[in-house]
Structure 1
Amino acid sequence: MPKMTAPEIRPPAKKAARLKRHVLLRIDSWLDSTLWNAGYNLAETWEEITIFFRRFRVRGLKKLGFEIAGEAMTLGTAGAVVLLTLAQPALEETKKDWRNHDNFAVTFLDRYGNFIGHRGIIHENSVPVDELPDHLVKAVLATEDRRFFEHVGIDFFGLARAMTENARAGSVVQGGSTLTQQLAKNLFLTNERSIERKIKEAFLAFWLEANLSKKEILSLYLDRAYMGGGTFGAAAASQFYFGKNITEVSLAEAAMLAGLFKAPAKYAPHVNLPAARARANDVLTNMVQSGLMTEGQVVAARRNPATVIDRDEKEAPDYFLDWAFDEVQRIAARFKDHTLVVRTTIDLGLQQAAEEAVASSLREYGESYRVKQGALAMIENGGAVRAMVGGRDYGESQFNRATRALRQPGSSFKMYTYALAMENGYTPQTVVTDGPVSWGNWSPQNYGRSYAGRITMETALAKSINTIPVRLAKEKLGIDAIIKTAKAMGVETPIKKDVTIPLGTAEVTVMDQATAYAVLPAGGRAARRHGVAQIMNYAGEVLYDFERDEPPAEQILTEQAAIYMNEMMSKIPYIGTARRAAVDGVLTAGKTGTTQAYRDAWFVGYTGNYTAAVWFGNDDYTSSNNMTGGSLPAMTFKKLMDYAHQGIDLKPIFGIDTPMPEKEAKPEEAVSETGEPLVTLVRPRSLSSQSTRMIRELGQRLKSATPLSLPADTAALGPKEAPTGATGAAPATGATGATGSAIPVSN
């Protein structure tokens, strides 16, 4: 027999390896079966879904309908996203405390203490809609929005009807805005004509309809609309025009009030009573056509039209009051009392002259230059705003172009580059090179497309050479430093960084330019622009005083830089681009500005007494007929300043003690389009500044019961030409309200 041997024993390592392979094979088998089953089940499920949906399959016209519906859903979703994006800016406006925006009741006085207007709510005039005469509500709805109680903020039927009528007439004869849209504009927006504003207006109209009742919307509209004569709201207009409470107006008077909403300046009865009565007759016709009244009910009102109280035709400085009201709300927000009396800085004599200067310029040259709007801001050196013109007609448009309109300043912005250069060691006699310059893909050209070679900084600014400020910004100063200088000097508008800024492509306001330029005659100190001198409550307590409560002016430019700038700027009206701006017998300084395609024309200038910025252009940004800053703006500046400097103590421009230079070439005398010489404004006679100072001192002594020794030559003091814009001794704060150096003999 063969010999038996012991069975072979496998090593533990081989057993472990075999076990591992077994486990991995089991896992692989499980994965394969699971995935196969999952795929099979998915296929079965998909087949079942396909079989289920086959019963809904359509062909022919039905399929076309489903395709259109699907596309509509896709486009609708995309449209909803776009609408939400467009609505966002409008909804931001509603975050403001718009209900209490007018919870101030402010009575405004001019610099001498004379009443000039009011803003905010008038508590005694607040009348609920339910208490208003039925015929007044019907007159407003028949004229402004017949479908007011049917639409949801926008009347699409009315809009279509208005577009049809306008297309048929070939011009705008009907408006499509609802009463809610008009309220949205009054509450949140301005009268600026832009697509952005119309989009916001539409969304805000929907928002108002969703958050307010129809009665609340109607009540707010009747309380907030401008009604002419400096009045806001139907209740205030009723008192102003008829001297009676709004609840007592007759049908004829209600029709006249309802006719004011469309164009208060055109139909204001105290200005043009025949036009107001004709408009009221149209309102009565609207009431009959809309079925709210019968012809028999309105015939008496047609035969006996409303009569109005005789009022002085002198208009309130409404643009200034709107701006000053915003200033009051900012300052007085911390005061508990919101029923206030505010003494402003405005000088009604200068204000009237400013309005006449702008209006006459547009009247005489507007058609030939193809411009329809102008704006002006005038600051007495020291910071007080003495005059403001925000547009051609406040009744037609309450949008303030002096403080809100953003326009390119053109070459008038070059001042900031040159001021920064003077701060960095340049002088008026520094020689620079006028030649081709490029910055990236941009190569600016001079106005005449020629180059002057080596010239002084003074000549470059006087001739408004374009390449010099660009070269300075590129090689020496930098864009950031120029923007910082403009901000420090008083430009409050955000400035976008761009290499073209040295030539004035950044948008600013007229008030920005006036404020910044006023730094130069102040010796480089901040202008401290302000329109509110004092705020008092009705108990006579002075809550705010500008001189007492505001910090002193900061030094923005060094005095030497200011002197250099004044030396250069004072040459421009005599040897430069602004020879039409030189004030007769008064050293004048300033800079012109003209933008691309002649869309905007500026002149910003100053004397030792006043600084003023003047702009002309069009709201729709259309080009003028080759109007430059040295033409209409410069002539308007001269008109105003010739008036303002009559009979006052003339102050020198800071750092300039040289005689007034002679003009290089005297332009032709300014004449109207009919060829007649323009009428020169003449200031009324008033007390001299010496007499004014003596009277003020007398008032202060009497107030403090201190004996006063009158000078021996008191009797020799006599009247001189009106010094209403002069600056004399420290202002008094007595009951008369005089804050300047002159007290007019009569208002």
Structure 2
Amino acid sequence: MARVPTAKTPKGRSTASSILKGLAYAALLGLLGLVVAVAVATAYLPSYSELTKRSDLGQMIRVRAANGTVLVSLGPSFGKWLPYDQIPPEMRAAMISVEDKRFRSHVGVDPIGIARSIKVRIQSGHFRQGGSTITQQLARNIFLTNSRTFGRKLKEMVLALAIERKFTKNQILELYLNRVYFGGGAYGIDAASRRFFGHSADRLSLGEAAIIAGLVKAPSNYAPTADAEAARNRSSVVLQSMVENGFIDASAASSVDPAAVRIQQTTRQNSVRYFTDWALPQLDALIDETSEPIDVWTTLSPSMQAAADKAIAANAPSGAQGALVAIDRDGAVRAMVGGKDYVDSIYNRATQAERQPGSAFKLFVYLTALESGMKPTDTIVDEPVTIDGWSPRNSTRTNLGPVTLREAFSRSINTISAKIGAQLGFGTIADMARRFGITTPISVYPSMVLGTNDVRLIDMTRAFASVASKGVAITPYGIRKVVTADGRLLYQHEQDEERVLVAPWVAAEMTDLLQSAVLTGTGRAAQIGRPVAGKTGTTQSNKDGWFIGFSSGLTTGVWMGRDDARPIAGLQGGTAPARAFHDFMAAAVANRPVEQFETQVPIPDWQLTPEEEMYGDTEMDPNAVQQMVDENGMPIGMPPPEPGMPQQQPMVRPDGTGEPTQQWLDQVLPPQQRQPQQQQPQPGQQEPQDDRSAPPADPSQPRAYTP
């Protein structure tokens, strides 16, 4: 039988058919691979309950002041997790409208959206629309990064398809709205609502929901805390989109005035960060929770912090830094300023800086003296003294002869401190400082009694607070309690057992001396119209100025100086630091009852001389004798006496106990400063007093305070 010839297939058609078959096979294999990949991804996806935990984003820490106001939020900010039915319909509609209007109909990937994105890419030359669905964004936010690569996009699609297989649409939308980032550190709509509007997301209005929905596109650009106007303008776009997609009608959209939506102002976080930087590292020793959001309730008083900021800013000399710490009677830190501006310098001079305290260190010298049995009324001779080759000099370059311990402390007489150290032992004084909480190394060379060892302001303030607490140790603390977002208590501060540092009568006598220093001594600028006890401190060449004192249960320490330790003209403990103490304490204790100290300080019949007020309590460099004094025994850096002025001539009271007579003053003062003859007291009359001391008429009576 003859074979019937068949028509020959054209070569081009055969090639096209092969290509089509190849593409079909490739598509089939790709689809099969996609199915397998989605099935595997679905199997490995976390459960819904696991995805509702947001610990993978880091721990949120909200730091609260003593009154409950939020001082600062650190790490990611989470609000309450809102189930789907508690999310306002306006919020759900706004998000779907602006981010994925076909959310209810697609399978996790929107082909129409992808096609539109490709079209825009071809027309403009770059992607201007991502085409990602809400499900894809959820997959990216939870499991992937924001890198713009084809591989990441493919993984995103696979995960989105898997998520749609494992969870319902409502669950996906709930996960998305509770996890997406809205800017300002806020994750989830509740955190965003609390951050920007000050209330929970279950009470969001249509205008507020539109603002939040508009943030997802560019959180850093549209966050209300960054640019409120941009956020409001973006919300208008969201409202128009809701109208176009049928979620609301035009009248509902027009009823919303974006400009009328109240946006919560963020609090100023400048100097507060000095406090939080000091307090928060203590959490490691207090709690074990490192993932769940927590609220840290602190001891800081916003009003006192504001007063501290103002006091330092108003009084710190130009070019100098200032620091302040205020500690309440139980150790609670109520205010902390570590420098003039946290933005310029995060270095905390209240807790980190180590500087010489000058005469403020004499607190420990006199505590040692009182504990040994000396009394404020005991007399010691102020005279030239040499100890192991060291010859301290008083700031006035004079010696008064016999003086009481109270007068020596108030005038900050260096030779008396040196004598006490030599008599009781410099190591004993160092032990007293350590007992009261000084944590920096203390050398025991003789000049240590003049405050030549470096200390920290918070340690010195703690020591004074322990004196105010009748000799019972005070430990500064900044964290009152720590709770989780749902109110579970993780930590509660408890007072330590009382640890007595010195006997109550020693603390009372020390308070007597400290009160004298403010009433009639170098710290008079710190008076605030109620009982104050405190001490100044000034170091060589006016490099550091200190004032530390207490009143009405609050102890405050102030330090001023330059970070490079260069001299500052006119800086003394009794000037700018004492004035800053006054300004702060006048505001800080204004609403506290006036408290009298359990000791009464009689006003003495002596007062500071003009020369003592000029030099304050400036100390000398302690390292070696040759660095402190010249060949004549005079402090280096002190101006030489004017021609004709007697050197080291003792001042003698009319009764022979040390107060200068008017005859002596007329010999050494320029004519224009001498007292007119007609103002000299008549026999039997009291000598006129310096009005800056303002003692009562009867010097044997304690000063009366007017609240």
TM range (shorter): 0.5 to 0.7
Q: 2:379 aligns with which of 431, 448, 468?
A: 431
Task: Tell me the CA shift for residue 652 of structure 1.
Answer: 2.6
Q: Confirm or deny that 1:352 pairs with 2:296.
A: no
Name the CA distance, whole Å, in 1 between partners of 2:219 and 2:76: 24
- Equivalent positions of 1:198-347 (< 5 A) are 248-249=217-218, 311-312=265-266, 314-315=268-269, 317-333=272-288, 339-347=293-301
Name the CA distance, whole Å, in 2 between partners of 1:639 and 1:620: 26
Give the match's secondary structure for 2:416: helix
| Residue in 2 that maps onto 1:581 | 526
Q: 2:433 aligns with which of 486, 498, 504?
A: 486
C-alpha change, 1:129 and 1:617, in structure 2 (3 Å) is: farther
Q: Confirm or deny that 1:538 pairs with 2:485.
A: yes
Give the match's secondary structure for 2:341: coil
| Residue in 1 that maps onto 2:458 | 511
- The answer to whether the Cα contact below 8 Å between 1:133 and 1:247 also exists between their aligned partners in 2 is no
- The answer to whether the Cα contact below 8 Å between 1:243 and 1:309 also exists between their aligned partners in 2 is no
Task: Tell me the CA shift for residue 441 of structure 1.
Answer: 3.4
Task: Tell me the CA shift for residue 646 of structure 1.
Answer: 1.7
Aligned residues: CA RMSD: 4.1
Return the letter of the residue paired with 2:490. Answer: L
Q: 1:499 aligns with which of 435, 446, 455?
A: 446
Task: Tell me the CA shift for residue 372 of structure 1.
Answer: 2.4
User: What is the CA deviation profile of residues 169-221 of structure 1, one whole-angstrom value per residue up to 9, with x for unaligned ones?
Assistant: xxxxxxxxxxxxxxxxxxxxxxxxxxxxxxxxxxxxxxxxxxxxxxxxxxxxx
Give the match's secondary structure for 1:519: helix
Name the CA distance, whole Å, in 2 between partners of 1:341 and 1:485: 39
Task: Tell me the CA shift for residue 483 of structure 1.
Answer: 1.9
User: What is the CA deviation profile of residues 590-643 of structure 1, one whole-angstrom value per residue up to 9, with x for unaligned ones?
Assistant: 000001111110000111321000011111111101210000000010001111
- The answer to whether the Cα contact below 8 Å between 2:63 and 2:70 also exists between their aligned partners in 1 is yes
Give the match's secondary structure for 1:536: strand
Return the letter of the residue paired with 1:346. Answer: L
Q: Confirm or deny that 1:603 pairs with 2:550.
A: no
C-alpha change, 1:461 and 1:342, in structure 2 (3 Å) is: same
Between structure 1 and structure 2, the one with the greater Rg is 2
C-alpha change, 1:250 and 1:607, in structure 2 (3 Å) is: closer
Name the TM-score, length of structure 1 as normaliser.
0.50
- The answer to whether the Cα contact below 8 Å between 2:552 and 2:593 also exists between their aligned partners in 1 is no
Task: Tell me the CA shift for residue 492 of structure 1.
Answer: 2.5
Name the CA distance, whole Å, in 2 between partners of 1:230 and 1:604: 40
Name the CA distance, whole Å, in 2 between partners of 1:598 and 1:456: 27
- The answer to whether the Cα contact below 8 Å between 1:580 and 1:630 also exists between their aligned partners in 2 is yes
Name the CA distance, whole Å, in 2 between partners of 1:638 and 1:571: 16
Q: 2:350 aligns with which of 402, 418, 423?
A: 402
Name the CA distance, whole Å, in 1 between partners of 2:533 and 2:579: 14
Name the CA distance, whole Å, in 2 between partners of 1:455 and 1:627: 27
Q: 1:442 aligns with which of 379, 390, 398?
A: 390
- Equivalent positions of 1:19-58 (< 5 A) are none
Name the TM-score, length of structure 2 as normaliser.
0.52
Name the CA distance, whole Å, in 2 between partners of 1:663 and 1:469: 20
| Residue in 1 that maps onto 2:16 | none
Name the CA distance, whole Å, in 1 between partners of 2:323 and 2:438: 17
Give the match's secondary structure for 1:318: helix
Name the CA distance, whole Å, in 1 between partners of 2:304 and 2:599: 26
- Equivalent positions of 1:471-482 (< 5 A) are 471-478=419-426, 480-482=427-429
Task: Tell me the CA shift for residue 338 of structure 1.
Answer: 6.0
Name the CA distance, whole Å, in 2 between partners of 1:567 and 1:639: 23
- Equivalent positions of 1:676-695 (< 5 A) are none
User: What is the CA deviation profile of residues 332-356 of structure 1, one whole-angstrom value per residue up to 9, with x for unaligned ones?
Assistant: 25x5776422211111111111111
Give the match's secondary structure for 1:387: strand
Give the match's secondary structure for 2:502: coil
Q: Confirm or deny that 1:592 pairs with 2:547.
A: no
- The answer to whether the Cα contact below 8 Å between 1:133 and 1:249 also exists between their aligned partners in 2 is no
C-alpha change, 1:105 and 1:657, in structure 2 (3 Å) is: farther
- How many pairs are equivalent? 414
- The answer to whether the Cα contact below 8 Å between 2:325 and 2:557 also exists between their aligned partners in 1 is yes
- Equivalent positions of 1:656-675 (< 5 A) are 656-657=599-600
Name the CA distance, whole Å, in 2 between partners of 1:554 and 1:246: 55
Name the CA distance, whole Å, in 2 between partners of 1:252 and 1:230: 13
Q: Confirm or deny that 1:108 pairs with 2:51.
A: no
Return the letter of the residue paired with 1:648. Answer: R
Name the CA distance, whole Å, in 1 between partners of 2:290 and 2:397: 61
Return the letter of the residue paired with 1:383. Answer: G
Q: 1:629 aligns with which of 563, 573, 591?
A: 573
| Residue in 2 that maps onto 1:380 | 328
Name structure 1 gaps, 5 residues minimum: 1-99, 135-226, 258-267, 274-307, 668-747
Name structure 2 gaps, 5 residues minimum: 1-54, 80-139, 149-182, 197-210, 230-261, 611-707
Task: Tell me the CA shift for residue 313 of structure 1.
Answer: 5.5
User: What is the CA deviation profile of residues 690-722 of structure 1, one whole-angstrom value per residue up to 9, with x for unaligned ones?
Assistant: xxxxxxxxxxxxxxxxxxxxxxxxxxxxxxxxx
User: What is the CA deviation profile of residues 291-320 of structure 1, one whole-angstrom value per residue up to 9, with x for unaligned ones?
Assistant: xxxxxxxxxxxxxxxxx9773464461111
Name the CA distance, whole Å, in 2 between partners of 1:373 and 1:357: 12
| Residue in 2 that maps onto 1:564 | 509
C-alpha change, 1:623 and 1:121, in structure 2 (3 Å) is: farther
User: What is the CA deviation profile of residues 444-481 of structure 1, one whole-angstrom value per residue up to 9, with x for unaligned ones?
Assistant: 21111211122111111100011112221122233x22
Name the CA distance, whole Å, in 1 between partners of 2:420 and 2:482: 46
C-alpha change, 1:247 and 1:483, in structure 2 (3 Å) is: farther
- The answer to whether the Cα contact below 8 Å between 2:326 and 2:557 also exists between their aligned partners in 1 is yes
Name the CA distance, whole Å, in 2 between partners of 1:663 and 1:603: 22
Name the CA distance, whole Å, in 2 between partners of 1:425 and 1:633: 32
